[in-house]
Amino acid sequence: MSRTLRLLAVATLAVPLLAIASPPRDDFDAGFAVFNEAALTQGFALPEIGSARVLAPGQWQQRLALDWTNEFVTESAADGETLIEDGETQRYGLGLRRGLAGGFELGLELPVYLTGGGVLDGPIQSWHDFFGLPNGGRQFAPDNRILYRYQAAGRTRLNVDSSHAGIGDVRLTGGWQAAPQLALRALVKLPTGQTSHLTGGNAGGALWLDYEPMLNPRSRWYSFLSAGGSYSGGDQPLGDQARRWAALAGAGLGYHVVAGLALQAQLYYHSPLYRHSRLDALHRSGLQLAVGGRYTFSAHAAFEAGFQEDPVTNSSPDFSIHLALVLR
């Protein structure tokens, strides 16, 4: 395993272990703020789940996050339908939330995308080789290539082969504390991205519930359950093959190992986002597994580090790094 991969694994799985003063329980969200980061999902209104506690009136939260995603899919069907997804995306999210009176909350996130061939191809192949995981044909494709191409019925319906830097779809969020352990949340996605560069470009929205069943300040364990649905309209990269409605659900479990340090894992499910296809990457449901940790510096600052994998092959990127600094 390469030195780069060793350093990445250490940074992701073993967030600093030095902590002396923080309580076992922190007041930050139970879930990582992640979702399916595949290029062909950017036009869909998939929310960040796992936040069952609305901010107190007048309380602010700022989040600066990086989700660095590498994906590789090559599929074909007997009728000539083919898909290649080979590229890398860095999504920088600047988020702001504020608690309001009456148990309400409003938020805003501005995402910035850098897309291209990337630099993670080699480390990911080493990771797969070390754990005996399949490379899915990565070893036969050029390194650092960007190519998103879809062909069906004798037509090329998608062909993106150049890098891009720009703003994605701005996300407006709201929340209401329906019960001490239950929040009703909503998302409105504005069409500020670009469909031609796979950074969004269409409006949408979502409504869901976040529930935290282990809300006990003295417990080292914490968890969340989420369920809801989303609607996505407007232009999509594959046109009328995109579904308007999608169901979503999630669950997470975490444990405070030592004061200030918590390790956690979560699953994020969504129903199929495309139709009229025989390819797994388009007609299957998505399932993402996120694993990592959170280090709480104080009651006002925390750092998250983790990675995502795809238990359902091809329907999600096979590797994504999540890093976030959260301030309150």
CATH number of the domain where residue 323 is located: 2.40.160.40
155 burial type by CB count under 10 A (0-12 exposed, 13-18 middle, 19+ buried): exposed
36, burial (CB in 10 Å: exposed 0-12, middle 13-18, buried 19+): buried
Name the residue range of residue 68's domain: 3-327
0.85 surpassed by pTM: yes
CA distance 296 to 226: 24
pLDDT given at position 164: 94
pLDDT for res 134: 63
Q: For the chain, how many structural domains are there in total?
A: 1
Averaged pLDDT in 10-residue chunks for the chain of 328 residues? 46 41 64 94 96 96 97 92 95 98 98 88 71 68 88 94 96 97 97 95 96 83 97 87 96 94 97 94 95 94 95 87 97
Percentage helix, strand, coil, to 5, in the chain?
10, 50, 40
Of the candidates 310, 258, 259, the residue with the CA atom closest to the CA atom of residue 285: 310
Q: What is the pLDDT of residue 136?
A: 66
